[in-house]
C-alpha cells in the first residue's frame, strides 16, 4: 500500500502537514515526535527550545520531523512553528493517552500526546519510527497503586518503532522489563548489552536483545512485519556519556522525589510530570540538560532507522 493510497483512508479528524504527507507519499523517511514531553516533561522555555532542536536533529539526519498533538480537537501530524510555540506556552493542555484521545477529539480540546497516543496517531498517518525521551512503565509501589503506563500496552499492539533512552528510572525497571517481555515487545539495546536507565547509561539489567546499526534495526522491523506480528519495537539508546548522571547520584534524588509524591498524594497521570519537575530542581537543572541530550540522541538514531527503512534497509 503506498502512502498516498493510505492517505486517502485517513480519519477525518487527522491533519497531516503537507511536508509530512509529501514525504510519506514519496517513501521518504519521517520521524514522529511526541508532545507530552513539551507540555508536561520540561519547563518553559527549555521545552520549546528542545522541541525545535529535536526537529532540527531529525532533519540533519535526513528525515522529516512530525511532531504530533491534538489542537482544538484535530489530530495534527506535523506542527508549524507558531502552533508548536503556542502549545509549549500553554499551561492547561490535556495529557492524552489511548483512553483520552477520542475525548479530546470529540470535545475540541487541546492535548499533548504521550508515547501511547503518539504511536496511535503515527500509525494512522503511516509513520513507522518515533523518537522520545523515555517510555512510561510499571511504577514503583505498583502492588498498591496498580499504576502501569498505557505505553506498555500500546507497544504490544501498535506497529511503530519507539526510540528511547530506556524507561525512566523513576519506575520499577525490572517489572517494566518483565511486562514488556510478557507482551511480546522486542527490547533492543543499541550498541549496549545493558538496559539504559534514562539519565544513566545502565540500569544494571541486561538488555534482552542487542543491535549495533540502524540498518539492522530496520531489518528487524521488516522481519516483524513479514511475520505478521502485531505491536512495536522498543529501541533503547543510552544517553551520550558526557551528559550522563551516574546511577547512584540520580537514585538518591529519585528517592527524595518519590517520597514527596507519596506525602502529597500525587497520583495517576500527575506522577511522572511531578517527579520529572522535582528532579530538575533537586539536580539544579542537570537532569533537564541530560533529558535534552538524550532526546536529541534518540532523534538522530530514529532518523537513521527511518532512512534505512525507506531505502529497504
Binding site: residue ranges? 95, 115, 147, 149-151
Query: Per DSSP, what are the bridge partners of residue 71?
Result: 74
Question: Minimal distance in Å, beta carbon 130 to ligand PSU?
Answer: 11
Contact call for residue 132 and ligand PSU (CB under 6 A): yes
The whole-angstrom separation of Cα 240 and Cα 199 is: 10
Can you read off the three cell numbers belonging to residue 237?
A: 539508546
The whole-angstrom separation of Cα 313 and Cα 305 is: 8
Size of site (CB under 6 A) for ligand PSU: 18
Catalytic residue among 168, 244, 269, 296: 168
Contact call for residue 40 and ligand PSU (CB under 6 A): yes
Single residue of 291, 297, 307, 310 touching ligand PSU by CB under 6 A: 291
Q: Where are the alpha helices (DSSP H) in 189-282?
A: 214-226, 247-263, 271-282
Can you read off the three cell numbers belonging to residue 193?
A: 548489552
- Per-residue mark of binding to ligand PSU, 294-313 (x: CB under 6 A): -x------------------
Contact call for residue 149 and ligand PSU (CB under 6 A): yes
Crossing angle of helices 81-89 and 46-60, rounded to 10°:
150
Contact call for residue 50 and ligand PSU (CB under 6 A): no
Give Cα 209 distance to the centre of its chain. Answer: 19
Single residue of 29, 133, 232, 304 touching ligand PSU by CB under 6 A: 133
Q: Look up residue 240 and give its DSSP letter.
A: P
Nearest C-alpha neighbor of 287 from the set 243, 241, 242: 243
Residue 246 three-state SS: coil
Toward ligand PSU, which CB reaches closer, 20 or 295?
295
Single residue of 29, 41, 186, 196 touching ligand PSU by CB under 6 A: 41
Toward ligand PSU, which CB reaches closer, 3 or 274?
274
Is 21 a known active-site residue?
Answer: no
Residues that bind ligand PSU (CB under 6 A): 34, 36-37, 40-41, 114-115, 132-134, 136, 149, 151, 269, 272, 276, 291, 295
Amino acid at each position: 500500500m503506498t502512502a498516498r493510497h493510505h492517505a486517502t483512508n485517513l480519519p477525518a479528524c487527522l491533519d497531516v502537514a503537507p511536508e509530512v504527507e509529501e514525504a510519506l507519499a514519496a517513501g521518504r523517511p519521517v520521524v514522529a515526535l511526541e508532545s507530552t514531553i513539551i507540555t508536561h516533561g520540561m519547563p518553559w522555555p527549555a521545552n520549546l527550545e528542545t522541541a525545535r532542536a529535536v526537529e532540527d536533529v531529525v532533519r540533519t539526519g535526513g528525515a522529516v520531523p512530525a511532531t504530533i498533538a491534538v489542537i482544538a480537537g484535530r489530530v495534527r501530524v506535523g506542527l508549524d512553528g507558531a502552533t508548536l510555540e503556542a502549545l509549549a506556552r500553554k499551561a492547561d493542555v490535556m495529557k492524552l493517552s489511548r483512553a483520552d484521545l477520542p475525548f479530546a477529539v470529540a470535545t475540541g480540546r487541546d492535548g499533548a500526546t504521550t508515547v501511547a497516543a503518539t504511536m496511535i496517531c503515527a500509525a494512522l498517518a503511516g509513520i513507522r519510527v518515533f523518537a522520545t525521551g523515555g517510555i512510561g512503565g510499571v511504577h514503583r509501589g505498583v502492588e498498591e497503586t496498580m499504576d502501569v503506563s498505557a505505553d506498555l500496552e500500546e507497544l504490544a499492539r501498535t506497529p511503530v518503532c519507539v526510540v528511547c533512552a530506556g524507561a525512566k528510572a523513576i519506575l520499577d525497571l525490572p517489572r517494566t522489563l518483565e511486562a514488556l517481555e510478557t507482551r511480546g515487545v522486542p527490547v533492543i539495546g543499541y550498541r549496549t548489552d545493558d538496559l539504559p536507565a534514562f539519565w544513566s547509561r545502565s540500569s544494571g539489567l541486561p538488555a534482552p536483545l542487542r543491535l549495533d546499526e540502524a540498518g539492522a534495526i530496520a531489518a528487524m522491523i521488516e522481519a516483524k512485519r513479514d511475520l505478521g506480528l502485531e505491536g512495536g519495537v522498543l529501541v533503547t539508546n543510552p544517553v551520550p556519556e558526557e551528559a550522563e548522571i551516574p546511577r547512584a547520584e540520580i537514585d538518591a534524588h529519585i528517592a527524595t522525589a518519590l517520597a514527596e509524591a507519596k506525602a502529597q498524594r500525587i497520583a495517576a497521570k500527575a506522577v511522572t510530570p511531578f517527579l520529572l519537575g522535582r528532579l530538575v530542581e533537586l539536580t539544579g537543572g542537570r537532569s533537564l540538560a541530560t533529558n535534552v541530550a538524550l532526546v536529541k540522541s534518540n532523534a538522530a538514531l530514529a532518523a537513521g532507522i527511518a532512512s534505512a527503512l525507506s531505502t529497504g534497509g
